[in-house]
Structure 1
Amino acid sequence: MAVRAVELPQLWMPYPLRVNPFLSALREESESWAREMGMLDGHQGPSGRQAIWTRSAFHAMTVDQLTAWTLPDASLADLRLNHRFNVWALAWDDYFASAFKQNGDLAGALAFTTRLRAFLRPEYGARLPEPTNAVERGIADLQQYLFPPRLAHWRQEFNRALESYIDAGVKELANSRSGRVPHLIEYVPFRRESFAAHTAAYSVELATGARIPRQIRHTRTVRALLDAFMDFMGLANDIASYEREVHEELDVNNLVLIVETSLGISRHEAVPAALNLVNTRLRDFEHLRQKELPLLVRRYGLRHEERAELAKWLRGACSFLSGLHAWYTGAPRYAASDVSHQA
């Protein structure tokens, strides 16, 4: 599947793109789960609402490439599982935009989000409501498979991250309705929630089978590294989706607009300032990975096998970021969003 390249030369990415060898197998079955959940046209759920995507629109998103680019080390089974999660996250995003953002329906968004939260149960085997639309069917199905025994420790944290993700949609809609542009200081940590970035460490662990060693998992250095890791994801997405969000959806929750308002500068000045902020967070991640983490490892006396596991997780995290970068700068979903020439 060809993708159209988009020039974003200022968006720095030091890690090489690696591609999962099972991409072709994933591509062949890419739409099967989405169609089964009622996300593609030709299927109407019990609510009677039209499907979220046409077949051509679905394939234009190249979710199969996103998954294979971000998780090059995953087995085919794990790749399929993360692909379904990626499809679901994009389905929620596009459904929420068309059903509530376009008409400013805050009450409808609240009701939809309240129901969806009932599907995010931290208890294994919890009884879920009967799904009434494609988004609910998708998350109900995923809850059966996301937490096998080796990832059971993720159940509460992952579902909390998804609750924050869907709640953030309501907050974004409220901001857009009132015309309130968030301040940069509050927006950066909020963007981790609105991008579901807190689930990314799960995806890396799923693909690599490696975890950050327990002894250092909650240290300041590792927390800072994870924050920088998550910040690149959401903030780089703001650069890539600027045109669609700000001009098409009239959304005020975008880094370029927020930098412009928070710093009191022009849009022309805000674009490079926003790009510089994204690049700075990636440089922070790289500094912590290369300089501070080795000192921490020695200070805590990690054994050889623990160091190897950490190195494996970090390699997966770097690949995750390079895969996202490739998708942002090459997928047709963002093809009209090159802000480097926006006034």
Structure 2
Amino acid sequence: MHAFSRGTTSTPTAVPVPPALSLPVIEEAFPRQLHPYWPRLQEKTRTWLLEKRLMPADKVEEYADGLCYTDLMAGYYTEAPEAVLQAIADYSAWFFVWDDRHDRDIVHRRPAAWRRLRTRLHTALDAPERHLGHPDPLVAGLADSLVRLYSFLSPGWNARFARHFHAVIEAYDREFVNRTEGRIPTVEEYLALRRLTFAHHIWNDLLEPSAERELPDFVRKHPTYRRAALLSQEFAAWYNDLCSLPKEIAGDEVHNLGISLVTHERLTLEEAIVEMRHRIDGCVSAFLVAERDALMFADSLADGTRQGKELGTAVRTCVGNMRNWFSSVYWFHHESGRYKVDSWDDRSTPPYVSNEAAGEK
């Protein structure tokens, strides 16, 4: 049973958290939120995965709900209109499926398949309406989610989102090369690449349609807003690395903060885990300061005009959702079957993926 099935809560539920992964500050200082649309969101995203043929029907039936992809988004963008949240949740589910295809293309040495997919995704990103009927379900699924995401704000926001996602696709290509060559990046190289492969800018871009307001450059680029946004994403990426470490060691991965620390900083695995936790704890503490400053910045935007009041309200909503990201990411990693490596028959092969070279028929 998922914790969310009992409603929102500010304390841990029945989901056990291993001591090595426990963060009391998250459990105590970041009350868990959930969009009330979540039950329908889960059902509709499950249906969408089937209709778009993004996962085989048997795997959707057995694994989709337990992977908790919709829980993650419903716990993040809690103020979003339902249509916006649905589009984000479908896009997020697509992203996980894409990540799995990328992984399987690496594991099964399919560079030609990856190169074709990379080119098709770049093309679909710029003209999604032309790719809705593409024979590769991954390309068509991206196009479908983008058509909806591009309908909420301005062409300028759409172009920014596309620019950011083009960079993510290229980062995935660099990861493909590193993994196929067995090259483990240095810690600093890894951290820079991780900001792209985790799609920091993308999830922050999506704060805006969730708040029903496109933020002007002077707000998005303001140091206080940018710092809070970055820290929320850094926490998510680094905590994901901590939780994924057993899975990625089993799969001969080269992209994980822990693996870079062991390889290039000459730490033992135990020391690397301690260092990862230190960085994660520091990220949480820094966010609490940045959050306070960002909320003060939001208040300063309310200059007595209606526009100023609406802009300040939108920024407060975005910062509130940044805070939600901490608890949503934390509990997702303990509820989702994506990280329960010990329950898999083969620790290097997730049971919810297809090993076929999809899109190549």
The answer to whether the 8 A contact 1:208-1:316 is kept is no
The answer to whether the 8 A contact 2:228-2:319 is kept is no
Q: Provide the C-alpha distance between the structure 2 equivalents of 1:320 and 1:152, rounded to a whole number of angstroms.
A: 27
| Counterpart for residue 252 of structure 2 | 250
Deviation sequence 1:208-241 (CA, Å, 0-9, x none): 2245565433233333333222212222211122
The answer to whether the 8 A contact 1:211-1:310 is kept is no
- Answer 1 or 2: which has greater helix percent: 2
The 5 A counterparts of 1:1-343 are 1-2=1-2, 5-7=16-18, 8-10=21-23, 12-13=25-26, 14-42=29-57, 53-98=59-104, 100-121=105-126, 127-128=130-131, 131-212=134-215, 214-247=217-250, 249-291=251-293, 294=296, 298=300, 302-303=303-304, 305=309, 306-336=311-341
Residues 25 and 184 from structure 1, CA distance in 2 versus in 1: closer, same or farther, beyond 3 angstroms?
A: same
Q: Provide the C-alpha distance between the structure 2 equivalents of 1:263 and 1:11, rounded to a whole number of angstroms.
A: 28
Aligned residue type for 1:110:
R
The answer to whether the 8 A contact 2:129-2:147 is kept is no
The answer to whether the 8 A contact 1:11-1:275 is kept is no
The answer to whether the 8 A contact 1:18-1:69 is kept is yes
Q: Provide the C-alpha distance between the structure 2 equivalents of 1:92 and 1:277, rounded to a whole number of angstroms.
A: 28
The answer to whether the 8 A contact 2:35-2:79 is kept is yes
Deviation sequence 1:101-126 (CA, Å, 0-9, x none): 212333432232122211110x6x76
Q: Provide the C-alpha distance between the structure 1 equivalents of 2:318 and 2:284, rounded to a whole number of angstroms.
A: 17
Q: Provide the C-alpha distance between the structure 2 equivalents of 1:227 and 1:72, rounded to a whole number of angstroms.
A: 19
- Say which SS state the counterpart of residue 155 (structure 1) adopts: helix
The answer to whether the 8 A contact 2:134-2:140 is kept is yes
Aligned residue type for 1:105:
R
Give ranges in structure 2 of 5+ residues lacking alignment: 4-14, 343-361
Residues 88 and 154 from structure 1, CA distance in 2 versus in 1: closer, same or farther, beyond 3 angstroms?
A: same
Deviation sequence 1:134-163 (CA, Å, 0-9, x none): 211101212221112535432112122222
In the TM superposition, residue 83 of structure 1 has moved relative to its aligned partner by: 1.2
Residues 32 and 290 from structure 1, CA distance in 2 versus in 1: closer, same or farther, beyond 3 angstroms?
A: same
Identical aligned pairs, as a percentage? 20
Q: Provide the C-alpha distance between the structure 1 equivalents of 2:205 and 2:294, rounded to a whole number of angstroms.
A: 23
Aligned residue type for 1:191:
R
The answer to whether the 8 A contact 2:50-2:60 is kept is no
Q: Provide the C-alpha distance between the structure 1 equivalents of 2:49 and 2:294, rounded to a whole number of angstroms.
A: 42
What is the TM-score normalised by the length of structure 2?
0.80
Q: Provide the C-alpha distance between the structure 2 equivalents of 1:142 and 1:290, rounded to a whole number of angstroms.
A: 34
Give ranges in structure 1 of 5+ residues lacking alignment: 43-50, 338-343
The answer to whether the 8 A contact 1:197-1:230 is kept is yes
The answer to whether the 8 A contact 1:181-1:253 is kept is yes
Structure with larger RCO (C-alpha < 8 A, sep 6+): 1
